[in-house]
Amino acid sequence: MFRLAALFLIMVAVLGVRPDTAQARNSQIDLAIEEGVPAGGQIDHDTTVGSMVVIRVTSDRLAVVYLEEFNLGVQVSPYEPADMIVDASRPGRFPVTLRTYDGNPFDGEPLIYLNIFPD
């Protein structure tokens, strides 16, 4: 994970890659989980350091969604939204994963990649 984050930061520094300014400040991601995967596919979201990102999660079953690098998690009851509020305090590429689904441990592809660029 460290190597991926380091590569991401090098790309930003060398190539001058910047997020779309429409998503660069406070934003919300709507994540609907169906059968253990994001409805509509994996989400790639760009923001900048200093932003607040609200991840509004709904699921067809009891689930726990987790952002490990920020030690944030949210439990979601079926079809009742739950919010995870992320203070984008450091740059990098951070996966948001499904920790449990329908009461069982879950180890699948990330639901979201949160890309935080330097301001």
State pLDDT tens for residues 62-114: 999 999 999 999 999 999 999 999 999 999 999 999 999 999 999 889 999 99
Kindly state the DSSP code that residue 21 receives in the 8-state scheme: T
Query: Which amino acid, 63?
Result: A
Whole-angstrom Cα distance, residue 43 to residue 30?
9
Q: Which one, of 77, 114, 81, lies nearest residue 97 by Cα?
A: 114
pTM for the model stands at 0.78
The pLDDT score that the predictor gives to residue 84 is 98
pLDDT at 24 over 60: no
Torsions phi, psi for 43 (to 5 deg): -105, 135
pLDDT tens per residue across span 46-55: 999 999 999 9
What is 2-117's CATH number?
Answer: 2.60.40.420
